[in-house]
């Protein structure tokens, strides 16, 4: 599936982002974003899984080889992930620390904190698959963070930070690929895919409402990527040429439409909310379909190991097949983008859904 040729190139995105950044510098800010607060899965987990009992970790080489200092952090990437780039674009810090990182303190968390956990989903049953942090527990950790923040900066300052912070949510892919579509899935016997989408949207709505009640106002609800174009799914489609799996991409698009409807409805019902839908589907699909237009050599296979099915512990530092330059690849492992792709997607979000928070 190809999208229209009118899709913006990486160079165009960079120019537009620079323009908006300069405008933001010149125009007085309506309400500066003092912190970035993150919920979700491996797409935004900056290392929380390092501290829990799960096999889904990435705190070993070659993960993090292009991160500052060249060391693994628990990010499922060769370097930085979207919250890091977004934080930097908002004039905050270079990286967003994991809440469970013992090296970080409330001083570090005051300008940004990540509660995400690789392998989780909206559905509690998804987090049970690999024993990771469910979404409800992420919210409980956030409540503890609120208490710590109030003690650190005082009640008035803490409420200002919590009210003006940007809340990023990136979650949902695992609900489908690691739960609903797996063999002998309990959920697929309970729901049709359309019903499961509605079930997850209900959970998303409840989470946003709870976050709103806790003081969150600027919230980005992330949509699903083109799941069928992940190297892991393309490798399963090898008998038909290793193209993207259209069924999975269609589910992602359908689910995103439902999330967009939720955003519209909640904006009408919750008077002070500034809720936006962050759509990465089309930009990542364009990159996956036309990698050379963005300066990549490959999108069908990943950098790490054979690039077909490896992630986590299967992404072995001793694999002779791991690429020398991750910047030439759209995907780092079979499920996660490279640092360079993450920057392209983050720049895209900053000129689209998140642009209203720049000025």
How confident is the model over 86-115, as a mean pLDDT? 97
State the Cα–Cα distance between residues 103 and 73, nearest whole angstrom.
Answer: 12
pTM to 2 decimal places? 0.91
DSSP string, 193-253: HHHHHHHHHHHHHHHHHHHHHTT--EEEEE----GGGSHHHHHHTGGGTS---HHHHHHHH
189 within 8 A of 246, measured Cβ to Cβ: no
42 annotated active-site? yes
Q: Which CATH code of 3.30.2310, 3.10.290, 3.40.50, 1.10.3470 fits the domain covering 31-230+245-282?
A: 3.40.50
336 annotated active-site? yes
46 annotated active-site? no
Domain boundaries, the chain: 31-230+245-282
Query: Over the chain, what is the mean pLDDT?
Result: 92
Q: Look at residues 126, 121, 112 and name the one whose alpha carbon lies nearest to residue 41.
A: 121
The residue from 336, 346, 347, 348 that is catalytic is 336
pLDDT digits (tens, 9 = 90+) for 123-161: 999 999 999 999 999 999 999 999 999 999 999 999 999
The residue from 10, 41, 42, 46 that is catalytic is 42
81 within 8 A of 344, measured Cβ to Cβ: no
The residue from 84, 101, 279, 333 that is catalytic is 333
pLDDT digits (tens, 9 = 90+) for 274-286: 999 999 999 999 9
């Amino acid at each position: 599936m190809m999208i229209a040729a009118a899709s913006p190139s990486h160079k165009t995105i960079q120019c537009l982002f620079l323009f908006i950044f300069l405008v933001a510098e010149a125009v007085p800010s309506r309400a500066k974003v003092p912190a970035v607060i993150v919920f979700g899965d491996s797409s935004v987990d900056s290392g929380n899984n390092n501290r829990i009992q799960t096999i889904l970790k990435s705190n070993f080489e070659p993960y993090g080889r292009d991160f500052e200092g060249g060391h693994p952090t628990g990010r499922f990437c060769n370097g930085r992930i979207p919250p890091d780039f977004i934080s930097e674009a908002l004039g905050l810090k270079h990286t967003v620390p994991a809440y469970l990182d013992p090296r970080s303190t409330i001083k570090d968390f005051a300008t940004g904190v990540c509660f995400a956990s690789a392998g989780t989903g909206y559905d509690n049953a998804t987090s049970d698959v690999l024993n990771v942090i469910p979404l409800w527990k992420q919210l409980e950790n956030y409540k503890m963070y609120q208490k710590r923040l109030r003690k650190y900066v005082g009640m008035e300052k803490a409420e200002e930070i919590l009210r003006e912070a940007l809340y990023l949510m990136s979650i949902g892919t695992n609900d489908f690929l690691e739960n609903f579509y797996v063999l002998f899935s309990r959920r697929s016997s309970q729901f049709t895919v359309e019903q499961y989408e509605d079930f997850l949207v209900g959970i998303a709505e409840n989470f946003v409402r709870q976050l709103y009640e806790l003081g969150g106002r600027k919230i980005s609800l992330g949509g699903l990527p083109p799941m069928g174009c992940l190297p892991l799914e393309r490798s399963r489609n090898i008998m038909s040429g290793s193209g993207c799996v259209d069924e999975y991409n269609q589910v992602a698009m359908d689910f995103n439409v439902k999330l967009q409807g939720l955003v519209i409805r909640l904006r009408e019902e919750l008077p002070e909310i500034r809720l936006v839908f962050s759509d990465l589907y089309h930009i990542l699909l364009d990159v996956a379909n036309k990698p050379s237009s963005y300066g990549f050599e490959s999108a069908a296979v990943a950098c790490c190991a054979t690039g077909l099915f490896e992630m986590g512990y299967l992404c072995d530092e001793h694999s002779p097949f791991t690429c020398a330059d991750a910047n030439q690849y759209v995907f780092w492992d079979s499920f996660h983008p490279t640092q360079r792709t993450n920057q392209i997607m983050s720049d895209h979000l900053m000129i689209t859904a998140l642009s209203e928070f720049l000025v």
